[in-house]
Every structure is written in structure tokens, then in C-alpha cells.
Amino acid sequence: MINLFGAHITSLSIHRVGNKINNEPIFISDDIYKADDELTPLLKEYFLKPFREKEENYFQFTHESDLEFHELFSISSKIFDAPNTVHEQSKIIAKYLYDQSLHPHIKPGEVYIVHFENLQIDNEKVDAIGIFKSEIKQDFLQFSEKESQLNAKLEHGVNLNKLDKGCLIFNVKKEEGYKILSVDSNRYDTRYWLESFLGVDALEDDNFHTKKYLKFCQDFAKDVVLPAEDKKEEVLFMNRAVNHFAKNDSFEESNFINEVISNPDLIPEFKHYKTEQAPKYKIEDLTEFPIANTAVTAARKKIKSVINLDTNIQIKLDFINSDSADKFVEKGWDEEKQMYYYLVYFNKENKV
């Protein structure tokens, strides 16, 4: 869990990086950028807003042999050890980003290297390094008064409402490659930012395990429960699965199976599906782990609890009180019409 509202910018360096393969230049600033009191809060919001609005899917620096050979890991460690060197290190970061700009579609742009203090992660105050890039420029009008005439001038610049690319490297879990968040709004080359430049992989923490296991359950419901039973049971299975995660602090697979899988015939199917599909979700040996509430909340928002019928009718089932669907919705077959039907019991219609 992160809290970025109290973050403070202690250093800001700005450089410009072109596309190396297109022979575009790189511009390195001699000194740090000193923003005034009006611009500083706007830049802070520009840098940090995207990270407050997205899921906390953490990454970590990774290297096939050893982290000490990872360029950005080494630079980050030097900055955290000596924050006063951040501008000199920012020049190395900009040049390294320039060296990775080897795809013809990679856009030139300004690179901002920021040292932050007073960020909160997992209830701990830490410092962090932010690396951000603005790529897409927009036209806007600048107005000026001259005697009795109002003049308009077309300008070209960065929209502070949308960050194109960025990452936050938190000064925690150094031995594992730090905890890192990343955003990429312009996915014209998905390998460029995460793989070529940052060199990161998913951090397999509680949030990762919770998210992956719930995604595994969702696919099991679609691939196994739906064909074996019906759409109602698929929805109910996911209702029970998410509710199980929501009411428990830790996950234990045998308890989950006993509580969530109502049809005993599906238990061996569940175990077989996990054996076959586990590598895809990285849950091969995962039977116990602490549950991350943020991942459960995010999953609940994404999972649909609607039965769409071919007669242009939708039945929305209560995701919180899933027992209602079990008790008050019945599925049947009408011989005369040769059609399936759902029978819904109720006492009165609630006013919306």
C-alpha cells in the first residue's frame, strides 16, 4: 500500500533524449533544474498522479547473472547511498535510455530524473527515485495583449495532465532488486520501457500471488465450470472465490477448495487444471500465502456477475450476497417452447 501525497521533491534533473537509431541528438543539462513554488506542485502532480490511479503491480530489477551487473540497479543504489550525486547519475540514466532507443517508432522526449523523500510504502516512510519521460506534444494557444488588440500565438508543449512513461524506484528490498512501479501510456513498443530500459520482472509478493491465483480461478470458471454446468454456476463460483479471499487474511488451498467448489466432481478437475496451467500463472507450488486486500478489491471490480441471454435480457447477480442467487434463482427447461428459462423468486421490487 502506497501513499504519495506527502512526497517531497528534493532534486529534479531534466534532459532530452532523441531516437538513436534515427540519428536524433541527446541533450544533457549541466545542472539540476530549480523549479519555482508555482511549478513544483504541478510537476509533482504530473509525476505521481498516474501511480495513485493504477493497481499496485510491483516490479523488481532482475539480471540473468547478478544484480550488481544491472545498470539501473547500480545507479539507483549509488543515488540512495549519496542523494547529493543524483544529478551526475541522472546524466548516466539519460545516456543509458538513449542507448536503448533503437526502435524506429520510439519517440524523442524530455527525461526527468527526480529524487523524492517522504513517500509511504507498507506504512514506512522512504525515499524514491522517479524516472519519467514526456513524448507526446500538444498544440495550445498563448494569448497576449498589445494596445487594443488581443493576439493569439500557437505554442507546442507537454500536457501536464498525462504522463507518457514513468517509474518509481522505492528504497526498499534492495537485495531483491527494489520495489518498482511503472506506467506506460504509449505502448507502441512494450519491450522498450520495461525490458530494454528498466530491465525488470514482476515482483512475486503477496499482491502478485493473490492477483495470479484469482486470475487462475477466473479462467478455471470459464474453461471448466461453465462447460460442465452453466453461466450461473460460473458466476457463483467466482463470487464464492472472491468472497473467500475477501474474508480471510491468509490463503490455504484445501480450505479454499472445500468452501468454494460446491460440486465435488469438480474438485479433481480443479487440481488437474492447476497442474496443467500453473506455470502460466506462476502458482506451481503455491498452496499458502498472505492475502493482499488491494488485489482482491481490484479483482472484484473486473469480474462480471452478469448472465447475458440470447433473448437480449441480462440477469445481474449480487456479487456480495452470492447466496441470494443460489436460493432464489433456478434454471429449467421448457419442453413446449424448447427453451431454457431462469425462475427468479422475490417478495417485492426495490425502487432504485
Residue-wise pLDDT for 241-300, tens only, equals 998 999 999 999 999 999 999 889 999 999 999 999 988 998 988 999 999 988 898 888
Pseudo-torsion of CA 170, 173, 178, 179, nearest 10°? -60
The dihedral over CA atoms of 161, 162, 165, 169, expressed in degrees to the nearest 10, equals: 40
What's the pLDDT band for 314 if we cut at 50, 70, 90? confident
- pLDDT of 319 strictly over 60: no
What pLDDT does 350 receive? 78
CB 144 within 8 A of CB 151: yes
The pLDDT confidence band at residue 231, using thresholds 50, 70 and 90, is confident
Looking at residue 31, the DSSP 8-state letter turns out to be S
Q: What is the mean pLDDT of residues 127-152?
A: 93
**How buried is 82 (Cβ within 10 angstroms: 0-12 exposed, 13-18 middle, 19+ buried)?**
exposed
Helices (H), 10-85: 39-52, 71-81
d(CA 149, CA 209): 63
198, 178 in Cβ contact below 8 A? no
Whether 322 shows a pLDDT value over 70: the answer reads: no
**54 DSSP β-pair partners:** none
Per-residue pLDDT band for 134 (boundaries 50, 70, 90) equals very high
Q: Given the DSSP bridges, would you call strands 306-308 and 314-316 parallel, antiparallel or unpaired?
A: antiparallel
Query: What does the pLDDT look like over 334-352, one tens digit per residue?
Result: 888 898 888 888 888 877 6
Whole-structure pTM value: 0.79
